[in-house]
């Protein structure tokens, strides 16, 4: 019996050892282990690091990959902001929009299922208590009356953290639309027939944020908003695809500002999609 117990225990990998396995790598030399990571937000595909990484502000051309015990889960490339190249797979814009403490993995060409949240990587993140599910959004109402379009949506906090979100009722619609392109409608041929008619209001200074713009959305709770847009060109009867991007802050928030007390500022954005039939 003693021999069996010794054999079983020798097969178990200590937690410290699994935490030191390489999870994320940039190029061939820059390796990050599980205990280098603070969290991953699966709603925005943002990977947060425990420590600031000055290199993130300088990377222009390189590759990256996620690993499971040395096996590549998926890989992608960094794409400089000045590049017109649109990669087919995962990429990270460089320099990033999230300072030197977070990287956002993007896919510019829609692909399903989304490899960034593949079951293998999600299970690994859960195992190491790094997975956060962020926000989700639903389109509740889109109604056209004369020259006014009324749009109602709801934001839900699926995360275990209480999150600070941009609250349009506090910023006003003009400042809110500085952070988002707002609502757009496209016909079945993908032609845009409507886009936000609300004038953007730039923050002063442009690269700062204010606590009074934000509201706490507690874990498991939701909040609804309504935006009224003016229609400048009549929309013909037919079926249209609806797209709306709910924004969060980005480069404005430093690593030291990410947590305000017990609440984390939600960074990134989520896109809501739906359909409407105009009579």
Residues 83 and 197 in one domain: no
Per-residue confidence (pLDDT) for residue 193, from 0 to 100: 95
Residues 92 and 76: their CA atoms lie apart, in Å, by 8
Residues spanned by the domain of 96: 14-127
* Final residue of a structural domain among 84, 105, 127: 127
| Separate counts of helices (H) and strands (E) for the chain | 5, 20
* Final residue of a structural domain among 103, 127, 151: 127
pLDDT (tens digit per residue) in 31-71: 999 999 999 999 999 999 999 988 887 787 789 999 999 99
Residues 123 and 139 in one domain: no
Using pLDDT thresholds of 50, 70 and 90, give the confidence band for residue 200.
Answer: very high
Q: Is residue 186 part of a domain?
A: yes
| 16 pLDDT higher than 90 | no
Q: What is the mean pLDDT of residues 160-178?
A: 98
Whether 25 and 135 have beta carbons less than 8 Å apart is answered as no
Number of Cβ within 10 Å of residue 247's Cβ equals 20
Residues 112 and 190 in one domain: no
Using pLDDT thresholds of 50, 70 and 90, give the confidence band for residue 19.
Answer: low
Residues 43 and 50: their CA atoms lie apart, in Å, by 19
Residues 117 and 22: their CA atoms lie apart, in Å, by 18
Token reading at 258:
């990410």
Residues 99 and 147 in one domain: no
Residues 146 and 20 in one domain: no
Residues 150 and 25 in one domain: no
Least confident of 2-11, 98-107, 120-129: 2-11
Q: What is the mean pLDDT of residues 220-228?
A: 98
| 132 pLDDT higher than 60 | yes
* Final residue of a structural domain among 104, 127, 150: 127
Torsion, Cα of 112, 110, 266, 203 (10° steps): -170
pLDDT (tens digit per residue) in 62-102: 899 999 999 999 999 999 877 777 788 999 988 778 989 99
Going 168 to 173 to 177 to 183, the CA torsion angle's sign is positive
pTM of the model as a whole: 0.90
Residues 119 and 141: their CA atoms lie apart, in Å, by 33
pLDDT (tens digit per residue) in 225-252: 999 999 999 999 999 999 999 999 999 9
Residues 144 and 274 in one domain: yes
* Mean model confidence pLDDT for the chain: 90
Residues 184 and 194: their CA atoms lie apart, in Å, by 5
Token reading at 136:
């989700």
Residues 63 and 167 in one domain: no
Per-residue confidence (pLDDT) for residue 112, from 0 to 100: 75
Residues 161 and 50 in one domain: no
Q: Is residue 90 part of a domain?
A: yes
């Amino acid at each position: 019996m003693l021999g069996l117990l010794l054999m079983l225990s020798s097969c178990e990998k200590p937690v410290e050892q699994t935490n030191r396995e390489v999870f994320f790598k940039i190029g061939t030399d820059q390796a990050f282990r599980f205990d280098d990571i603070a969290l991953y937000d699966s709603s925005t595909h943002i990977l947060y690091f425990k420590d600031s990484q000055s290199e993130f502000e300088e990377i222009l051309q390189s590759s990256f990959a996620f690993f499971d015990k040395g096996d590549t889960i998926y890989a992608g490339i960094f794409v400089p902001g000045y590049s017109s190249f649109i990669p087919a797979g995962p990429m990270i814009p460089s320099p990033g929009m999230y300072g030197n403490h977070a990287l956002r993995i993007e896919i510019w060409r829609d692909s399903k299922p989304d490899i960034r949240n593949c079951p293998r990587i999600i299970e690994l993140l859960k195992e190491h208590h790094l997975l956060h599910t962020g926000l989700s959004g639903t389109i509740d109402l889109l109604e056209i009356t004369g020259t006014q379009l009324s749009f109602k949506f709801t934001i839900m906090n699926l995360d275990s953290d209480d999150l600070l979100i941009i609250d349009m009722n506090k910023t006003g619609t003009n400042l809110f639309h500085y952070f988002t392109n707002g609502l757009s409608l496209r016909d079945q041929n993908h032609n845009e027939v409507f886009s936000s008619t609300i004038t953007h209001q730039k923050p002063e200074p442009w690269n700062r944020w204010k606590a009074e713009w934000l509201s706490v959305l507690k874990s498991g709770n939701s909040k609804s908003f309504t935006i009224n847009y003016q229609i400048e060109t009549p929309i013909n009867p037919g079926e249209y695809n609806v797209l709306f991007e709910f924004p969060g802050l980005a480069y404005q928030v430093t690593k030291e500002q990410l947590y305000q007390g017990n609440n984390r500022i939600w960074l990134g954005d989520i896109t809501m999609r739906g359909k409407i039939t105009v009579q």
